[in-house]
């Protein structure tokens, strides 16, 4: 999991970067439920954020005007945003697909990724069912997706979609090679649930603002503490699963004439690791595959992938660097 912090201006962007945010996301909280910042603000933030970090743009709830949305997406690409999020509330499914496809075309020639977004509380507004997020992202060829919330009454993501269901959605998204992101009034108290779900990206604002209020400015020390707590769960120093790991299988041995391949997950998203594993076992069912996982949370996704595919986990251990090494027999 990496941390995305929503900002409204360049001063907040500096605070987010100082606190260790991996993604600085520009939005406008003053516009309707949530809207887009002006191009000048986006440009300032992109310049302020170091090139090795991500600076993304949120368009918020977009209108049912395909050309207008595609032009806004094009602008995000021209401003060198790392990604642009296009959100839907009261939009018919087919219209949302058409809008995202037009947005994807508008990004041709840019390095900007397209992120489709639905809101967990959409049904409160008679909006598009949020559980169609993966289907929508797949049909419109998005690079990833985000589930967020719109309500401002104290409820958050987990009040609308339970942990187990979010876990299934995130895992399916990773198997399809998409980046997965969760947001929606998330706080430090939600980190154990988030760690068990293990999205690629966790998005916050209020939790890292002064006094915990999203209308107050982003505060670097709050960002740093959120990031620290997230990393404690990634390394396994805080165990969110009570030490439960998959048992080693007795169906296979690492000895014999079979080959042995290593997939190093260092610096890779869980989606890319699962994609490499899938391609490898499709091409070669005879070789053992050892997966090196610096992020402990990603080990659970690999375990689920192995179980779902009928593969055997031969051994599972921590090396001297703290990485988990999982040996799989296809």
**Which contiguous run of DSSP H or E holds residue 54?**
strand 54-61
Instruction: Provide the H-helix boundaries in the chain.
Output: 10-19, 39-48, 66-78, 93-106, 133-139, 163-175, 191-197, 220-234, 270-283, 296-309
Residue 174: its pLDDT value, please? 93
Classify residue 111 as exposed, middle or buried by CB count within 10 Å of its CB (0-12, 13-18, 19+).
exposed
What's the whole-model pTM score? 0.87
Active site residues: 27, 85
Buried b (16+ CB within 10 A) or exposed e, 270-304: bbbbbbbbeebbeeeeeebbbbbbbbbbbbbbbbb
Residue 253: its pLDDT value, please? 42
User: What CATH architecture applies to the domain 2-234?
Assistant: Alpha-Beta Barrel (3.20)
Q: What is d(CA 279, CA 117) in angstroms, rounded to the nearest whole number?
A: 28
CB 151 within 8 A of CB 143: no
Would you list the domain boundaries of the chain? 2-234, 260-329
Dihedral, CA atoms, 229, 7, 176, 137, nearest 10 degrees?
140
Residue 246: its pLDDT value, please? 46
Decide: helix, strand or coil at residue 146. Answer: strand
Q: How many residues does the chain have?
A: 330
- Fold type of domain 260-329: Translation Initiation Factor IF3 (3.30.110)
DSSP output for 22-47: SEEEE-BTTSSSSBPPPHHHHHHHHH
pLDDT by residue for the chain (330 residues), tens only, comes to 999 999 999 999 999 999 999 999 999 988 756 788 999 999 999 999 999 999 999 998 999 999 999 999 999 999 999 999 999 999 999 999 999 999 999 999 999 999 999 999 999 999 999 999 999 999 999 999 999 999 878 899 999 999 999 999 999 999 999 999 999 999 999 999 999 999 999 999 999 998 666 677 999 999 999 999 999 998 888 888 765 444 444 444 444 445 788 999 888 888 888 888 988 888 888 889 999 988 888 888 898 899 889 999 998 888 888 888 999 999
**The two structure tokens encoding residue 44:** 């300032």
Residue 212: its pLDDT value, please? 64
Q: Which residues contact 152 (CB under 8 A, 6 or more apart)?
A: none
């Amino acid at each position: 999991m990496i941390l995305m912090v929503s900002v409204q201006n360049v001063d907040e962007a500096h605070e987010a970067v100082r606190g260790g945010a991996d993604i600085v996301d520009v939005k406008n909280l003053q516009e309707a439920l949530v809207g887009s910042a002006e191009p000048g603000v986006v440009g300032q933030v992109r310049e302020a954020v170091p090139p090795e970090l991500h600076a993304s743009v949120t368009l918020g709830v977009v209108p049912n005007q395909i050309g207008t949305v595609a032009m806004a997406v094009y602008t995000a690409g021209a401003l060198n945003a790392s990604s642009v999020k296009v959100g839907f509330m009261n939009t018919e499914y087919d219209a949302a697909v058409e809008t995202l496809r037009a947005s994807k075309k508008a990004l041709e020639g840019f390095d900007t990724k397209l992120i489709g977004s639905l809101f967990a509380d959409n049904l409160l507004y008679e909006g598009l069912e949020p559980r169609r997020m993966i289907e929508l992202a797949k049909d419109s060829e998005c690079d990833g997706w985000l589930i967020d919330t719109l309500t401002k009454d104290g409820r958050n993501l987990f009040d609308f979609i339970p942990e187990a269901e979010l876990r299934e959605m995130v895992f399916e998204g990773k198997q399809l090679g998409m980046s997965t992101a969760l947001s929606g009034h998330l706080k430090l108290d939600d980190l154990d649930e988030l760690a068990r779900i293990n999205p690629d990206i966790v998005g916050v604002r209020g939790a890292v603002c002064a006094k915990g209020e999203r209308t107050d400015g982003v505060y670097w020390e709050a960002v740093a503490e959120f990031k620290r707590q997230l990393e404690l769960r990634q390394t396994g120093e805080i165990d969110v699963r009570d030490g439960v790991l998959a048992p080693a299988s007795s169906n296979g041995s690492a000895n014999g004439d079979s080959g042995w391949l290593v997939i190093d997950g260092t610096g890779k998203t869980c989606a890319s690791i699962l994609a490499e594993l899938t391609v490898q076992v499709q091409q070669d069912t005879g070789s053992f595959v050892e997966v090196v996982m610096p992020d402990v949370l990603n080990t659970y996704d690999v375990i689920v992938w192995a179980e779902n595919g009928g593969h055997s986990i031969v051994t599972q251990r921590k090396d001297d660097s703290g990485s988990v090494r999982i040996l799989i027999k296809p």
